[in-house]
Amino acid sequence: MFRHKPVWVNIDVPTKCYTLHRECSYTNRMCETPYKGVGKLKRDGGWIRFRNEDIALKRQQEEYEQYELIIHCK
Ligand SMILES: [Zn+2]
């Protein structure tokens, strides 16, 4: 695991999923839509970049504890 590397989190409000990605086909294809942002949250959530995995996991515990945590790719 590369804990010092930046990660992307897909925060999905409708399904209450907090999905952590490093780099995969999803992060390569992410794009802004009317309801999902990239780098910011919209009505249905969005893709947020964190400096490393620990910070992303801490944010999940602090603000998204009702969301299901999914580690998509390692
Ligand atoms: Zn992934």
CA of 43 to the centre of ligand 1 (A): 22
CA of 24 to the centre of ligand 1 (A): 5
> Which residues, other chains included, contact 21 with Cβ-Cβ below 8 Å and sequence gap of 6+?
7, 8, 9, 10, 27, 72, 73
Give residue 38's pLDDT band: very low, low, confident or very high (50, 70, 90). very high
Give residue 4's pLDDT band: very low, low, confident or very high (50, 70, 90). confident
Report pTM: 0.92
What is the gyration radius of the CA atoms in the chain, in angstroms? Answer: 11
**CA neighbor of 1 nearest in space, from 60, 40, 57:** 57
CA of 11 to the centre of ligand 1 (A): 13
Residue 14 neighbours by CB distance under 10 Å? 10
**CA neighbor of 38 nearest in space, from 21, 54, 62, 55:** 21
CA of 31 to the centre of ligand 1 (A): 14
Residues around ligand 1, an ion, CB closer than 5 A: 21, 24, 26, 72-73
